[in-house]
Amino acid sequence: MRVEDPTALRCEPEHGCITCGDEAIALRVVTVDESGLALCEDELGRHTTIEVALIGPVAPGDGLLAHAGTAIAQLPREEVPA
Amino acid sequence: MKYVDEFRDPELGRVLASEIVNLVEPGRHYKLMEVCGGHTHSIYKFGIDDLLPENVELVHGPGCPVCVIPMGRVDDGIAMAHQPDVIFTCFGDMMRIPGSDGSLLDAKAEGADIRMVYSPLDALRIAKENPDRDVVFFAIGFETTAPSTALTLKRARMEGVENFFCMCNHVTIVPPLRALLDSPDMRLDGFVGPGHVSTVVGARPFEFIPSEYEKPIVVAGFEPLDVLQAVEMILRQIAEGRCEVENQYKRVVPYEGNQRALEVLAEVFELRPHFEWRGLGFISQSGLKISEAYAEFDAERKYSVPGVRVADPKACQCGEVLKGVIKPFECKVFGTACTPERPIGTCMVSSEGACAAYYNYGRFAREREVV
């Protein structure tokens, strides 16, 4: 079972909802499971689960741009969050 | 920070600002619309409009997903949320959008089981954790968000989840742009095109803007230099007598879009004949509904809802703001009866809404002084 980080990305109305705002976020892939879900990390070390079916195979260390829990684009190597 | 610092370089910003000054004709007024609420947010957060000559005006478009949801759809969602044994899920800003008799947040306070989620996947997880309850996901957003909903419905089917339903309010970006261009009270000189929507649909769908309406459009990223460069590219097209689709956000947006995402959208959704947009009225083929192939997940087939069109409050001028006809501070209730804490109109709710962006970054005070 995947364990989510308690500080994972959330939709917070007090601080603006990134999903409602049509905002996408840069993430780094940590692990990928066989069902097409990837555990990812943002630049602050927060973890979230992302659907990667739209961008093809990804591997740990790859960068992606995610919106509403789904990766919508891959990022060039130099733009992957550290 | 990589991916951010190079797009916030003040020196490069000054160079671009000076190139913009050289491109504009004195005495001519340029009215450019930034389509996406994310651009509106960046413009006021970083003061991009302050770098532009006085005769270059940025007006705000309809690309804020929660801002365009009409009150009647909020009422329909609240009616579903009050059904017995329903867990109703939606994104955070959506909870504060006023319906005719309160918001989803008010309904939650009255006892409805309404939960905030970051993604449709979170809503599906709630459904799997509560097999004896029906979980309804209130789906909103443009083509940026719709693929996530579509993939989640495919996953629900794959995993055999039978208590997950979706109330689909997804919309598409091209029809409202066409409606704006056809509107007699609009005179626009060009568009800053949406960045994240275009990662899905690509830049090609915007070709009708130069070919049919002879206006330039530049798809842009969201960092300050992205927006400033897009403005420079639009003004350069005008100065050189060109009119085309350009892609400033090439590092993320492929011209043809994401084909897998488009295929998933075509499989799971179909176009509604009409959909109501707040402030813009009914626009043909601008909204998505769940396709026959995925009908078992359609919350609107399972639950009866009022389905009544509700007029916006008379004092609220979100419609004019969404069409770029007036600036937020020109609305009679801006900053007085309507604030981010107690919004009357949708544009004051989301941080991407034009009114909230003005309010949060101090444009209220500054613009009032000018007026």
Q: What is the pLDDT along chain B (371 residues), one digit of tens a residue?
A: 444 556 667 788 889 999 999 999 999 999 999 988 888 888 888 888 889 999 999 988 887 788 888 889 999 999 999 999 999 999 988 888 888 889 999 999 999 999 999 899 999 999 999 999 999 999 999 999 999 999 999 999 999 999 999 999 999 999 999 988 998 877 899 999 998 899 999 999 999 999 999 999 999 998 899 999 999 999 999 999 999 999 999 988 999 999 999 999 999 999 999 999 887 889 999 999 999 999 999 999 999 888 888 887 778 888 788 777 888 888 888 888 888 877 887 788 776 678 887 887 766 554 444 43
CB contact under 8 A, B147 and A78: no
Residues B197, B214, single domain; the answer is yes
CB contact under 8 A, B196 and A23: yes
Residues B131, B233, single domain; the answer is yes
CB-based contact B88:B56 (threshold 8 Å): no
Residues B261, B362, single domain; the answer is no
pLDDT value of residue A7: 35
Residue B75 Cα distances to B22, B78, B194, angstroms: 51, 5, 29
Residues B79, B57, single domain; the answer is yes
Residues B293, B325, single domain; the answer is no
CB contact under 8 A, B252 and A56: no
Rounded distance between C-alpha atoms, residue B237 and residue A57, angstroms: 39
Residues B154, B289, single domain; the answer is yes
Residues B299, B323, single domain; the answer is no
Residues B235, B332, single domain; the answer is no
Say whether B116 sits in a helix, a strand or coil: strand
Rounded distance between C-alpha atoms, residue B31 and residue B185, angstroms: 13
Burial class (CB in 10 A: 0-12, 13-18, 19+), B286: buried
**B contacts of A21 (beta carbons < 8 Å):** 37-38, 41, 64-65, 93, 350-352
Across chain A, mean pLDDT equals 76
pLDDT value of residue B80: 97
Q: Which of A26 and B135 is assigned the larger pLDDT?
A: B135
Instruction: Closest CB to B119: pick one of A16, A24, A68.
Output: A68
Task: Give how many domains chain B has, as a whole number.
Answer: 2
pLDDT value of residue B7: 66
Query: Helices in chain B by DSSP H: which ranges?
Result: 10-23, 37-46, 71-81, 104-109, 120-129, 146-158, 174-182, 196-201, 208-213, 224-239, 259-268, 299-302, 318-322, 354-360, 363-370
CB-based contact A22:B64 (threshold 8 Å): yes
Residue A2 has pLDDT above 60, yes or no: no
Domains along the sequence of chain A with CATH: 13-77 (2.30.30.140)
What would you report as the CA-atom Rg of chain B, rounded to the nearest whole angstrom? 21
Residue A1 has pLDDT above 60, yes or no: no
pLDDT value of residue B337: 83
Q: Rounded to the nearest 10 degrees, how much is the dihedral formed by the CA atoms of B279, B281, B284, B289? A: 80
CB contact under 8 A, B151 and A70: yes
CB-based contact B353:B328 (threshold 8 Å): no
Give φ, ψ of B72 to 5 degrees. Answer: -60, -35
Q: How would DSSP label each residue in B222-282?
A: SSHHHHHHHHHHHHHHHHTT---EEETTTTT--TT--HHHHHHHHHHEEE-SEEEETTTEE
**B contacts of A53 (beta carbons < 8 Å):** 151, 260, 264
Residues B220, B355, single domain; the answer is no
- Domain, as residue range, for B359: 318-370
Instruction: Closest CB to B38: pick one of A12, A13, A21.
Output: A21
CB contact under 8 A, A43 and B41: no
CB contact under 8 A, A13 and B155: no
CB-based contact A68:A19 (threshold 8 Å): yes
Q: How confident is the model at residue A21 (pLDDT cuts 50, 70, 90)?
A: low
- Say which CATH number the domain at B223 has: 3.40.50.11740
Closest residue, chain B, to A24 (C-alpha): B196
Whether A42 contacts chain B with CB within 8 A = no
CB contact under 8 A, B91 and A26: no
Residues 6+ apart with CB under 8 A from B168: B139, B149, B269, B288, B289, B290, B298, B299, B300
Residues 6+ apart with CB under 8 A from B241: none
Whether A57 contacts chain B with CB within 8 A = no
CB contact under 8 A, B119 and A70: yes
Residues B115, B155, single domain; the answer is yes
Q: How confident is the model at residue A13 (pLDDT cuts 50, 70, 90)?
A: very low
Residues B288, B351, single domain; the answer is no
pLDDT value of residue A12: 43
